[in-house]
Structure 1
Amino acid sequence: MLESRTKRVLIVEDEAMISMLIEDMVLDFGCEVVGPAARLDHALTLALQADIDIGILDINVDGSVVFPVADVLRFRGIPFIFSTGYDFRSLPERFRDSSTLSKPFSYDNFADTLRRTLAGTSDTTEVV
């Protein structure tokens, strides 16, 4: 049986406490944190250059929308989850089929969304 490598999760979140909470959950699931990025320019650099398996993207990052980062991840074939306190129905049409987490979200909701999104990747690992 082939061993799967640890999943690398890009976190884009500008609120420090929320970012730390997401980081803790990602680590609990046996994944590796990429970032976190609290600014759009840093998030774009990571999205373009880092080895990433999935992204967790706050829609509003330091006053900028995260959609350019989502566009880069989509172009690279990397799945992502939007995390937002806003109404997800306000997403641009191109992202309406994207996974979303409404803030505040529970540990179980986060885990289920992460599992479902990773299930669409070819080299999945078991997420707790």
Structure 2
Amino acid sequence: MSDSTAYTESAKILLLEDDLLLAMDMEDYLLDRGHEVVGPFGRLVDALDAIPRNELAGAVVDLNLHGELSFPVIEELQARSVPIIVCTGYAELPEVKTRLQGLPLLPKPWTAHKLSSLMEETFGATQEPRDAPPSKIRN
């Protein structure tokens, strides 16, 4: 999270996930908890385009997008001090494990309990569902 972006209940969370069903499920989960979703995006170029145009409080990033690793997005978010949760089934590969060192990992298939826990630890996010969903942002 950048110094100018404090975490709030309606914080903007970037979502990068190439599996449509997983993206929709995670988007619903985030919206139900009062977050604004930037995305979801299924391509690196779209996420990279949205990052500088939004004050993000956090990001949930799938590591493997149809065979393309999302390190350019992770690096751009890190350069902007945006906290990241990496969603992956590839975290145990030695070359990947080294590059992801220190980042919170959400194993696939993800669970609401694990994501809630990681969001609280990483973003300081609340875990309680909200009554009214906020707006969805597609930038």
How many matched pairs? 120
Alignment partners' CA distance in 1, 2:54 and 2:20: 21
Deviation track 1:59-113 (CA, whole Å, cap 9, x = no partner) reads 0113211011010101101000000122345425343000110001211111111
Query: Which fold has the larger relative contact order, with Cα–Cα distance below 8 Å and residues 6 or more apart in sequence?
Result: 2
Q: Is it true that 1:105 corresponds to 2:81 in the alignment?
A: no
| Corresponding residue for residue 14 of structure 2 | 10
Q: Is it true that 1:117 corresponds to 2:139 in the alignment?
A: no
Determine helix, strand or coil for the equivalent of 1:6. Answer: coil
Determine helix, strand or coil for the equivalent of 2:24. Answer: helix
Q: Give the TM-score of the pair, scaled to structure 2.
A: 0.79
The 5 A counterparts of 1:15-34 are 15-34=19-38
Structure 2: which 5+ runs fail to align?
A: 1-7, 129-139
CA RMSD between the two structures: 1.7
Q: Is it true that 1:93 corresponds to 2:94 in the alignment?
A: no
Structure 1: which 5+ runs fail to align?
A: 120-124
User: Structure 1 residues 5, 67: closer, same or farther in 2, change over 3 A?
Assistant: same
Determine helix, strand or coil for the equivalent of 2:116. Answer: helix
Deviation track 1:31-85 (CA, whole Å, cap 9, x = no partner) reads 1100111011111111232221101000011321101101010110100000012
Q: Is it true that 1:53 corresponds to 2:48 in the alignment?
A: no
Determine helix, strand or coil for the equivalent of 2:76. Answer: helix
Alignment partners' CA distance in 2, 1:9 and 1:83: 14
List, as ranges, runs of 4+ consecutive aligned residues in structure 1 with deviation greater than 4 Å: none
Taking only the aligned residue pairs, the percentage that are identical comes to 30
| Corresponding residue for residue 78 of structure 1 | 82
